Structure 1
Amino acid sequence: MRLYLVDAFTSSAFAGNSAGVVLLDEPADPEWMQAVAAELKHSETAFVQVGTADGVPKPLRWFTPAAEVDLCGHATLATAHVLGGDQVFTTRSGLLRCTAAEDGVRMDFPADPPKADPALLAEVTPALPGVSPGEIEYVGRGVSDVLVRLTNATLVRELDPDIGAVARIAARCLIVTASGDREDVDFVSRVFGPRVGIDEDPVTGSAHCTLAPFWAEQIAKAELVGEQASQRGGIVRARPDDDRVWLTGAAVTVFEGTLLV
């Protein structure tokens, strides 16, 4: 089987979020896919069945080193990049359409806008040492993740979360965000997901299904640019569209080879 490693949401190698992409000619055993993802140790490994008839959506699944997930943006971007931009995938989150764009690949994802939930403050505060309750402007929950808005980007960039406390929050991931601190960035974010085996995800496309509708309402812009301020860092361009979100990013293939087992 063909195996690729792709840096997604970046135009430079060794930045953005790295994903494994495995091309399958037929369906694979989930336990085997989980074992491959654990071996590769990337935040996500995508498994796409390419032996389908023309015009038939390709089955696509995503695994962290610890679990299968319902939606992954950067590994979808990586897969579409490997296969050639214009693709339709059938997934646990429904049909996902990707199209080639001048600046990379544009993906059509389901929106997951958050709903304010002040009661979550008691769970969130212990996970954010050094952040006072007065510096937390918003706490809400989407279907998958909990979203916290802080008063400024510096708090997000310098945050050293208590990962044990993050893991006790009943959500796939904790998204921490603030308004952008550069002219070319509308908002910054970081994403922590110890429950799915990722203490901090470098760049999280699916989190922008929550971030994009939230920030579009906050700053009344149709087209948004988000910076995920992890150590590797990355840029996600987002456009909310009713119950969907268009996410656009670049990608770079850094390795290709053959999976032997």
Structure 2
Amino acid sequence: MIQYIVDAFAEQLFEGNPAAICVLDQWIEDDLMLKIAQENNLSETAFTVKEGNGYRLRWFTPGGEIDLCGHATLATAFVIMNYVDKTLNNITFQTLSGELIVKKNQDLYEIQFPSYSLISIEVTKDMEKAIGFRPLEAWMGRDLVCVLQNEEQVESATPDLQKTKELPGMLLHVTAPSAVFDCVSRSFAPKFNIPEDPVCGSGHCHIAPLWAQKLKKDKIIARQASRRGGTLQCKINNDRVELAGKAVLFAIAELFVTNNKRNVDE
């Protein structure tokens, strides 16, 4: 089995968010996909199989399968368009979050995702204890989004990961307005054995619509202020979020694992 490792939402190697990509002929057992994800120990490992004119795509963290991952979708499209079928300029993926379309625009990969509906919730002492700063606002979608006072708080935050696990939502995102970009954010996923996600695409399906509403604009330049860092160009269109970014290949490897074939519908 061939596996690619790609830095997504990256201008150059060693920035953005790395993802492992396995392009399969047929599906393998879920348990094996999880073990590969755990062995890689990256925030996401993506598995894809060609179906008709498109591909079915699944994402695994070291803690289990998830319903949406932006950077691994971008990385998968990059691999297919550059190493599997160079004639393609767009790909339709079938996923747990529905149909996702990726278009190649020169060196940018543009992906349309469903945006998450956000509900304003009460800021609690548990949030303050977990983050180390008291949020100005808290919003709930699939994940918890906490708005901090400024980008310095976002950059210096060192959340207590055990306390973060006790907060609502799958992931925790902290965000604030930025002097250079429209917003700056960081993403934490200890419930999935990921202390910090370097660049979180699905997180920006929460963050971008929030700042679009606050700033009254439909195009957002977002910066993920992790150690690796990454920039996302976001466009909001009703209930969809378009994320665009670049990708860089880091490695191609052969995995020596038993390929137990199965039907994805079983």
TM-score by length of 1: 0.93
Q: Which residue of 2 aligns with 1:98?
A: 102
Aligned residue in 2 for 1:243:
239
1:208 to 204, 210, 215: 204
CA drift at 1:123: 2.9
Do the aligned partners of 1:6 and 1:252 also contact (CA within 8 Å) in 2?
Answer: yes
What is the CA–CA distance in structure 2 between the aligned matches of 1:74 and 1:105, rounded to whole Å?
Answer: 10
Q: 1:31 and 2:37 equivalent?
A: no
Whether 2:91 is the aligned partner of 1:87: answer: yes
Task: Judge conservation of contact 1:113–1:214 (CA < 8 Å) in 2.
Answer: no
Taking the aligned partners of 2:104 and 2:201, their CA distance within structure 1 comes to: 17
Unmatched runs of 5 consecutive residues or more in structure 1 = none
| Whole-Å separation in 2 of the counterparts to 1:151 and 1:102 | 37
Task: Give the number of equivalent residue pairs.
Answer: 250
Deviations 1:147-202, CA, capped at 9 Å, x for gaps: 100111000001111111101112110100000121xx110000011001111100
The Cα offsets for residues 60-80 of structure 1, whole Å up to 9 and x where unpaired, read as: 100011111110000001000
Give how far 1:124 is off: 1.0
Instruction: Measure how far apart 1:12 and its partner are.
Output: 0.3
Question: Displacement, 1:103?
Answer: 4.3
Give yes or no for the alignment of 1:61 onto 2:67: no
SS in 2 for 1:161: coil
In structure 2, stretches of 5+ residues that fail to align are 82-88, 258-266
Q: Which amino acid aligns with 1:34?
A: L
The answer for the alignment partner of 1:19 in structure 2 is 19
Q: Is the 8 A contact 1:67 1:197 kept in 2?
A: no
- For 1:146, the equivalent position in structure 2 comes to 144
For residue 74 of structure 2, give the secondary structure of its aligned residue in structure 1.
helix
AA matched with 2:176: A
Q: 1:139 and 1:257 mapped to 2: Cα distance?
A: 42
SS of the residue corresponding to residue 113 of structure 1 reads: coil
Aligned to 1:2: 2
> Which of 117, 121, 126 matches 2:124?
121
Match of 1:187 in 2: 183
> Are the equivalent residues in 2 in contact too, given 1:88–1:95 (CA < 8 A)?
yes
Structure 1 residue 206: Cα displacement: 0.3
Aligned-residue offset at 1:214: 0.3
Residue 262 of structure 2 aligns with which residue?
Answer: none
In structure 1, C-alpha distance between the alignment counterparts of 2:44 and 2:38, rounded to whole Å: 9
Q: Which amino acid aligns with 2:165?
A: A
3-state SS of the aligned residue for 1:181?
coil
Quick one: which of 89, 112, 119 aligns to 1:108?
112
CA distance, structure 2, for counterparts of residue 220 and residue 154 of structure 1? 23
Structure 2 residue 223 is the aligned partner of structure 1 residue 227: yes
What SS is found at the alignment partner of 1:171? Answer: coil
Q: Which moved more, 1:201-210 or 1:109-118?
A: 109-118
Q: Corresponding residue for 2:153?
A: 155
Q: Which amino acid aligns with 2:177?
A: S
Aligned 8 A contact 1:25 1:49 in 2: yes
Distance across 1 between alignment mates of 2:220 and 2:106: 17
> Matched residues in 1 for 2:126 and 2:58: separation?
31
The aligned amino acid for 2:78 is H
Secondary structure of 2:27's match? coil
Superposition RMSD in Å: 1.1
**TM-score normalised to structure 2 length:** 0.91
